[in-house]
Chains A and B, each alone.
Chain A
């Protein structure tokens, strides 16, 4: 019976009183909708009372509120031991902070004559009730630890039962006395809201954060001047702080973003075995290609003859590329006279490699600046950017026994056999130019 009153009757009574009372007070006593300030009567101890008290109590109330509003999110968070311990520690620390603050406030209120002058008896009732409430809360936290976790299965359903008008006190009647006291204290405090300075919870002056500071002071000429200066100083400080916060925040975000990208850039790609082997394969091929080029270079320094192709591979209209003794590209064709026709493919204009396809006029094209070269004479077409003919290269046809069947000098002077039937078995070589000694 007593329990039914304390856990169902009292809550509804308190809620009704609170809601009706708050509406009444906000309608008829609009200007009393706050805690009466005593800052300019005494502002020394106030700082060390009000600040710890508010920091502590707001943190704790937020914890209660979140657990009540989103119990599932909260309990899933609390199932992580590290978070649970942290929350418990923060809760205990904050209640100690609140107790220290509140104690300072009580001492201030009963020792300072000027503050006493504006103190009502209701103020004292509230402050003592709050003190009792927070001590009981702290003791609960100490004797029945991990309330952040167990409350979601007990107090929270009880609270939601009340809210949804399906009150179920079975959740709470089995609780130890200490915790019951905490719950009852909470309802009493809620009931007192409309009649006390607790009302200011509903009138949080959020605007104060953004508005220019106002300074309350005794009104005389000197104080006014000081006040103007102080206001100007405070305002410029606020502007500076706002700017600094903005710049710091933006810089921090930017730095975070950039360092995230730069770090992953330096870390390099995650090795995906397939991509990595493809990459290695490619690198190996390139290395082999380079090695081949080196090989070619070495051969040209050592050998008197370099193999170009088999005679049977030569065609009239499609040249075969090779590298000549100057490490420049050359082209090998089959001439109209069935003799091999070897011509340099390094354009005499700006050194591009000339194409290998012979056009209907017997010319090959340098794609860079469109010069057509006649493959027989080497001459560029009139008006072409290239002015100098492509030089012919010396060659030799060697048969299977290593005998030279035919050969030509760079000047075009051919010696040896000219029988295509004999050539068929031969290989085409370029011969080292007679060294024009420097």
Chain B
């Protein structure tokens, strides 16, 4: 191919993904329509994730006024927020619960978008930015988990970071040391300590939110540019206007989500799902307490990690990441029927691993 052809093809490609003629208020808001059919509920998932993200921003900013990211004060400051600051327990609970709800919404959003083939041309960019957002969201969950500096937080982070080092055993020669070096770059010192806390704090509060906002901007722009994907085979019989009809419905869903979140946060402390010793301040000299686990949304990879040889997980998750990134091209010609079956299988796997992971683990390990 000649150079000018490459340039031309690239131009066409970009122009299809970012149609400049549609970059107007009238095309992106006034004229946008949302198909109405039996899986229309899936169109709310992205908005819901966005909503929980904004809850995270607001509650996170509130927490920032009291939280102190040092190994001696972090745990005490979190306790101070929960026990002494007026409304502090509510704010912290909302932050904790909304993180879970956000990840839940993001996962459902991923599966439904996959099943509806919402990644098909010209929506590849939307999909790829979405996968990036998923990664950042998980990274936010992982970094945020360390900040309270209690036993479960530090030990789970240790295990998570140690698994990077484990890659070393499969690498030849001097390369075997590389994963350890990467791990130490992330944690900032030989063991998880003050440097790790500072780094995770910076990641959780500044770097990841900033990058999420950047990628999210791209994601939302593409969504508004291309409109909702029709989501089903055949033509939807009915459409409704995005603004104000669908938007108002979106707001109502957010209202309901807020009420649910508020009631849960008011009544169920996030820690109540674990036994107390896990929430004592981290003690570097004592033994690791029983029952160290990551957050529930990592169970789908945590329990297999416990059960299977490490290389299986490595290859598996590497493949999964590649497939997710390449979905728009890999499943280009796959029918919606097949995609739906795949999505349902994935959903079953996620639910089973998350809910029954521990039982499965004990079944094979007993």
Residues of chain A touching chain B, judged by Cβ–Cβ distance below 8 Å, are 261-262, 264-269, 275, 279, 282-283, 286-287, 289-290, 293, 321, 323, 326-329, 345, 349-356, 366-370, 385
Contact = CB atoms under 8 A, between A and B. Distances in A.
Interface stretch (B67-75, B103-111, B225-233): B67-75
Interface in B65-105: 65-66, 70-73, 75-76, 80, 84-88, 91
B158 interface: yes
Contacts of A283: 72-73, 76
Interface in B265-283: 281
B286 A353 contact: yes
A152 to B, nearest CB: 42
Given A350-B163, A351-B159, A265 B284 contact: no
Nearest to B81: A265
A290 B71 contact: yes
A269 B306 contact: no
Contact of B72 (A268, A279, A286): A286
Contacts of B290: 367
A262 B66 CA distance: 13
Given A265-B88, A385-B306, A352 B190 contact: no
B2 interface: no
Contacts of A269: 84-86
Contacts of A289: 72
B155 interface: yes
Interface of B: 62, 65-66, 70-73, 75-76, 80, 84-88, 91, 155, 158-159, 162-163, 166, 190-191, 281, 284-292, 306, 365
Nearest to B366: A370
A279 B84 CA distance: 10
B191 A327 contact: yes
Given A286-B76, A290-B71, A385-B306, A266 B65 contact: yes
Given A264-B86, A350-B158, 9 more contacts: A262-B87, A268-B86, A321-B286, A328-B191, A351-B159, A352-B292, A355-B287, A356-B287, A367-B289
Q: Which 8 A-B pairs have the closest CB atoms?
A: A290-B72, A269-B84, A352-B288, A350-B162, A264-B86, A286-B72, A350-B159, A353-B288
B85 A354 contact: no
B292 A279 contact: no
Contact of A293 (B281, B284, B291): B284
Given A265-B85, A350-B159, A286 B73 contact: yes
Given A265-B87, A286-B75, A289-B72, A367 B288 contact: yes
B86 A265 contact: yes
A416 B177 CA distance: 38
11 contacts: A265-B85, A268-B84, A269-B85, A279-B80, A326-B190, A328-B191, A352-B159, A354-B288, A367-B287, A367-B288, A367-B290
A279 B288 CA distance: 26
B126 to A, nearest CB: 33
A264 B70 CA distance: 25
Nearest to B158: A351
B85 A345 contact: no
B287 A345 contact: yes
Nearest to A282: B76
A207 B289 CA distance: 71
Nearest to A326: B190
Nearest to A286: B72
A370 B159 CA distance: 14
A329 B285 contact: yes
Given A352-B158, A352-B292, A265 B91 contact: yes
A87 to B, nearest CB: 37
Contacts of A345: 287
B94 to A, nearest CB: 12
A37 B65 CA distance: 64
Contacts of B62: 262, 265
A321 B287 contact: yes
- Residue from the set B75, B76, B287 with the largest chain A CB neighbour count within 10 Å: B287
A264 B71 contact: no
A244 to B, nearest CB: 16
Contacts of A264: 86-87
